[in-house]
Amino acid sequence: MHDFRRQLKQPEDTIDPRTWAGSVPDARGTAPHVRVGRDKWFNLLWLIPLGFVLLVAAIAIAQGLREIPAVQQFMQHYPGTILRPDAEQTAGFPAWVSWQHFLNLFLMIFIIRSGVQILTDHPRLYWTRHSTPGKEWFRFQKPVPEDPLWTAKQDSVNVPSWVGLPGLRHSIGLARWWHLGVDTLWLLNGVVFVVLLFVTGHWVRVVPTSWDVFPNAISVAIQYASLDWPLENGWWAYNSLQLLAYFITIFIAAPLALITGLGMSPALSTRLRWISSRFSIQAARSLHFLVLCWFLLFIVVHVTLVFTTGALRNLNHMYAGRNDQTWVGFWIFAASMVVVIVGWVGASPLTLRKPRLIQRVGYALIGPAQRLFEHVDAKPGQYTEKDISPYLWHNGKYPETDEYRALFENNFADYRLQISGLVDNPVQLSMAEVRALPYHEQITQHFCIQGWSGVAKWGGVSMTTILELVKPRPEAKWVVFYSLGDGPDGGTYYDAHPIEQMSYPLTMLAYDMNDEPLSYGHGAPLRLRNEVQLGFKLVKWIRGIEFVADFAELGGGYGGYNEDHEFFGYRQSI
Ligand SMILES: Nc1nc2c(c(=O)[nH]1)N[C@H]1C(S)=C(S)[C@@H](COP(=O)(O)O)O[C@H]1N2
Ligand SMILES: [Mo]
């Protein structure tokens, strides 16, 4: 019997950027481009001069408008701010608003930076689940090269470490702990905020209660654009444009960030296929990015206006709960900015020095949700022939050993699938024997952690057939799949799955893909499909399967190759 465990490589607990992820060299993306028509690409950097021209034009137009008597009348009728008769009762800023405003801002730094890092791991956005090269609507990477074995990992880029978190190429595992972990805190803060808004009656300050908000907002827009700015009385009420911006941010953008985020989960998309077939993971990813754009726009405009419309008074409102021109609010703000800067500067170095800590804390925060969504019913996740993607990205490190080459060249005649561990009937099966088992077929969607997706038809053996054959003992809790190929840092690629998921109807060993024998690139002779998990857990080029009680003894003990070496999580339903 082959001892799989001996060929696993012990991982490191710190990160050396030079040897990270199989020593991938750093790579920068291109300027962001948006596709117009079939294959023309517009460089978004042109928006900078274009925006400047539009701004100057808007100022001229607004100033012209204000000369017109009808417009003057309109603006007199709609001065910009709707002062409610009961405004006195909800005037001012209670301490909880100040605290939640600060927490929100502080947490968003990490969410945005790690989100950008995640985006760089697949620097392309699509509207359909097929992720076909050339069909993306947005990219900051060159066109996909002709190389038929080009991988998504080769396609990844990076951003500087003060922008991205942690700022290493293909550091998505760690970026996701930051992103999803801090998300849970941000959502908690948001829920408390919304509850308090409604309990205290302060909601009327950020929710429009009259249609007059729209003409007033137009009036405010003209006032801003004409550089003759509206009177500020934010202590009692926001102007209508501000009101709309806050309303959209709190009640539309924030929930949309959550919904579109969950829209990228393999487990939820599989379970809720009636939604995800219309609103695909790529639509979710694209919208998630547009929500980011909204937040960035909001932050820039908000901060600019805070500082240009009576900075001291504005800072006193939010940071000191007072409505005067003293410096108190400014100093509290300055102190809070020290915390922000320390957090900003420290986050990436901390992550490189203590990646296991980030992995552990991240899992403590998001793990309960990961675990919850693993138990979903995978059955609805099937597609039809017409949904099959014309192109399925390749990923991972290809097996390059002489052993593999010999097996491949001999059409796997000498291949044996070894199934061992805590089973009553360990077996070694030739491919002929595997093919003689009852045939199982499914058309399902693949979700790579990097963000691309695609649908393929998989043919092979259901894992339930394998379970019936080998008879796992009751102590067996995890099923470990070992590859013929190594991972990028050396040592066998492997991954552990909860045994419960092996009897899901869409868990199988595939030897056919789209009615043809599995290709070299996609995992010949055998690969795993488990449709409630992300792609990296679906081991290709399978050599053997071991049933174990616990994976702590295997390799680094984190449940798989990427878990050991790239700090991924072993539960990946989101
Ligand atoms: N042995 C092995 N299996 C692997 C990988 C790998 O590097 N080695 N990469 C994984 C990743 S990250 C993904 S997304 C899928 C990609 O499968 P595909 O190339 O068939 O699309 O394979 C997974 N299985
Ligand atoms: Mo992946």
Q: Are 227 and 79 in contact (CB under 8 A)?
A: no
Does residue 243 have its Cβ closer than 6 Å to ligand 1?
A: no
Q: Are 100 and 189 in contact (CB under 8 A)?
A: yes
What residue segments make up the domains of the chain, in order of their start? 2-12+375-565, 78-127+151-371
Whose Cα sits closest to atom 5 in ligand 1? 396
Does residue 273 have its Cβ closer than 6 Å to ligand 1?
A: no
Whose Cα sits closest to atom 24 in ligand 1? 539
Q: Are 29 and 141 in contact (CB under 8 A)?
A: yes
Q: Are 79 and 216 in contact (CB under 8 A)?
A: yes
Residues of the chain with pLDDT under 70: none
Does residue 173 have its Cβ closer than 6 Å to ligand 1?
A: no
Residues 6+ apart with CB under 8 A from 104: 186, 189, 190, 193
Whose Cα sits closest to atom 19 in ligand 1? 394
Q: State residue 390's pLDDT score.
A: 98
Which residues have a beta carbon within 5 Å of ligand 2, which is an ion?
395, 448-449, 535-536
Whose Cα sits closest to atom 15 in ligand 1? 535
Rounded Cα distance, 537 and 121, in Å: 17
Ligand 1 atom closest to the CA of 452, numbered from 1: 14
Rounded Cα distance, 147 and 397, in Å: 15
pLDDT digits (tens, 9 = 90+) for 47-89: 999 999 999 999 999 999 999 999 999 999 999 999 999 999 9
pLDDT digits (tens, 9 = 90+) for 219-247: 999 999 999 998 888 999 999 999 999 99
Q: How many CA atoms lie within 13 A of 432 on its CB side?
A: 3
- For residue 525, is the peptide bond before it cis, meaning its omega torsion is within 30 degrees of 0? yes
The amino acid at residue 435 is R
pLDDT digits (tens, 9 = 90+) for 384-419: 999 999 999 999 999 999 999 999 999 999 999 999
Rounded Cα distance, 192 and 386, in Å: 45
Output the six-digit token pair for 471.
């008879």
pLDDT digits (tens, 9 = 90+) for 499-520: 999 999 999 999 999 999 999 9
The hierarchical CATH code for the domain 78-127+151-371 is 1.20.950
Output the six-digit token pair for 190.
């948001």
Ligand 1 atom closest to the CA of 521, numbered from 1: 19
| Helices 328-353 & 172-200 angle (0-180, nearest 10) | 150
pTM of this prediction exceeds 0.95: yes
- What sign does the CA torsion over 248, 252, 258, 260 have? negative
Nearest ligand (C-alpha, residue 542) = 1
Q: Do domains 2-12+375-565 and 78-127+151-371 have the same CATH topology?
A: no
Element (H, E) at 138: strand 138-139
The hierarchical CATH code for the domain 2-12+375-565 is 3.90.420.10
Does residue 540 have its Cβ closer than 6 Å to ligand 1?
A: yes
Whose Cα sits closest to atom 10 in ligand 1? 536
Nearest ligand (C-alpha, residue 528) = 1
- Tell me the H-state helices in 226-317: 240-247, 254-262, 266-271, 273-276, 281-308, 311-315
Q: State residue 232's pLDDT score.
A: 84
Ligand 1 atom closest to the CA of 528, numbered from 1: 24
Output the six-digit token pair for 154.
């080769």
Whose Cα sits closest to atom 1 in ligand 1? 540
Whose Cα sits closest to atom 9 in ligand 1? 396
Does residue 539 have its Cβ closer than 6 Å to ligand 1?
A: yes
Rounded Cα distance, 228 and 73, in Å: 16
Whose Cα sits closest to atom 11 in ligand 1? 536
Does residue 399 have its Cβ closer than 6 Å to ligand 1?
A: no
Q: How many CA atoms lie within 13 A of 33 on its CB side?
A: 19
Does residue 556 have its Cβ closer than 6 Å to ligand 1?
A: no
Does residue 541 have its Cβ closer than 6 Å to ligand 1?
A: yes
